[in-house]
């Protein structure tokens, strides 16, 4: 898909490298499972089935988890109006529009390609932001669709999901069925758990490295499209500050989708090392937007 969003060759290169490394890791992972479980058909069928579900139904899964639903122009005229204007400016197809009835102030884009993309905004975000700030956030999300990194992050996260599921299955299988099983089976399950945990750790780090860069790329592309980096910076500051006041239970529900969000759903006390974060720090993002503001000669 061609659009007027500024192309980002560094983002494209990082996506290609990440997908290559994850693909290689995936092949090794499947081969190891086949050796350990001694069933080519079982492993291939399960792996292919889960990958297909992740690819084809990622938008529905994300909307369901975030309590979002598609809305018509009559139901959300302001939201549709902003997205219509941005898509016309960017010369790109309009994605479907959804609203999540959550107070958590956030937005995300998902979908396997531009024709099946969804941009979802929470009611908490709409309530807190001024029109120009909301426009900046939506431009950020649309750039994810235009640059195709939504599809890449969806597929990339699959390997971590399947590895995590296998670790849990092997753990509970060992925990509740250990006595009724012979020693060889127990050893095989332990090896499966170890391989899956290693694969999960590597994919975890690769996805987060890509995710942090893609957020900076989307900030830049969105700010350049609207020519209002200060509005996006204001939205970032507001949302990041308000997320810290959201109840912990709501944050836990959303944290599984942090890689897709405009800002991560992290509450107070969660100052994890930057290496493990899906997003750059607020300071880093504001600094980058200030540079764009200077570049554009934007005045307050």
* Catalytically annotated residue among 6, 75, 130, 141: 141
For residue 56, name the pLDDT band (cuts at 50, 70, 90). Answer: confident
pLDDT of residue 162: 67
User: What DSSP string describes 235-263?
Assistant: HHHHHHHHHTTS-HHHHHHHGGGGGGBSS
Residue closest to 275 by CA, chosen among 219, 206, 217: 206
Write the pLDDT tens digit of every residue in 108-151.
Answer: 998 877 788 899 999 999 999 999 999 999 999 999 999 888 88
- The count of C-alpha atoms lying within 13 angstroms of the C-alpha of 100, restricted to the half-sphere facing its C-beta, is 27
CB 62 within 8 A of CB 195: no
pLDDT band, very low/low/confident/very high, at 269 (cuts 50, 70, 90): very low
What's the mean per-residue pLDDT of the chain? 79
Higher pLDDT, 272 or 70: 70
Work out the percent of the chain whose per-residue pLDDT is above 70.
Answer: 76
107-110 and 68-70 beta bridge pairing: unpaired
pLDDT band (50, 70, 90) for residue 254: low
Q: What is the pTM of this model?
A: 0.78
Rg, Å, the chain Cα set: 21
| Per-residue confidence (pLDDT) for residue 235, from 0 to 100 | 93
Residue pair 264/279 in contact by the 8 Å Cβ criterion: yes
Q: Which residue has the higher pLDDT, 226 or 248?
A: 226
pLDDT digits (tens, 9 = 90+) for 57-84: 777 877 887 888 999 999 999 999 999 9
d(CA 27, CA 117): 28
Name which residue leads in pLDDT, 275 or 83.
83
Task: Tell me the C-alpha distance between 95 and 108, whole Å.
Answer: 12
User: For the residues 232-243, what does the mean pLDDT come to?
Assistant: 84
Percent of the chain scored above 90 by pLDDT? 33
Based on the residue annotation, tell me whether 298 is a catalytic residue of this protein: no
Average pLDDT over residues 208-225: 91
Give the best-scoring range by mean pLDDT among 114-123, 129-138, 164-173, 193-202: 129-138
Instruction: Name residues whose C-beta falls within 8 Å of residue 58's C-beta, 6 or more positions apart in sequence.
Output: 110, 111, 112, 154
Query: Is residue 215 part of an annotated ligand binding site?
Result: yes
Lowest mean per-residue pLDDT among 19-23, 52-56, 162-166, 241-245: 241-245
Answer with the residue of higher pLDDT: 87 or 3: 87
């Amino acid at each position: 898909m061609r659009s007027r969003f500024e192309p980002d060759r560094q983002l494209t290169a990082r996506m290609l490298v990440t997908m290559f490394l994850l693909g290689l890791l995936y092949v090794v992972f499947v081969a190891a499972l086949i050796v350990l479980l001694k069933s080519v058909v079982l492993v291939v069928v399960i792996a292919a089935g889960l990958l297909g579900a992740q690819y084809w139904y990622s938008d529905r899964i994300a909307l369901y988890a975030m309590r979002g639903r598609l809305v018509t122009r009559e139901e959300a005229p302001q939201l549709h109006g902003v997205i219509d204007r941005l898509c016309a400016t960017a010369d790109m197809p309009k994605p479907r529009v959804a609203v999540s009835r959550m107070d958590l102030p956030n937005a995300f884009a998902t979908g396997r390609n531009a024709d099946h993309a969804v941009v979802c905004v929470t009611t908490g975000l709409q309530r807190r932001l001024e029109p120009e700030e909301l426009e900046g956030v939506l431009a950020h999300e649309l750039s994810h669709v235009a640059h195709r990194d939504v599809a890449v992050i969806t597929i990339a996260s699959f390997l971590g999901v399947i590895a995590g599921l296998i670790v849990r299955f092997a753990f509970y299988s060992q925990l509740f069925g250990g006595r009724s099983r012979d020693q060889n089976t127990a050893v095989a399950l332990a090896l499966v758990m170890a391989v899956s945990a290693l694969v999960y750790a590597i994919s975890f780090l690769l996805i987060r490295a890509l995710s942090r860069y893609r957020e900076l790329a989307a900030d830049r592309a969105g700010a350049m499209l609207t020519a209002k980096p200060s509005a996006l910076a204001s939205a970032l500051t507001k949302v990041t500050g308000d997320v810290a006041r959201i109840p912990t239970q709501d944050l836990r529900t959303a944290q599984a989708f942090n890689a897709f969000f405009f800002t991560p759903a992290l509450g107070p006390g969660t100052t994890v090392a930057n290496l493990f974060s899906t997003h750059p720090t607020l300071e880093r993002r504001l600094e980058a937007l200030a540079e764009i503001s200077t570049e554009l000669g934007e005045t307050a």
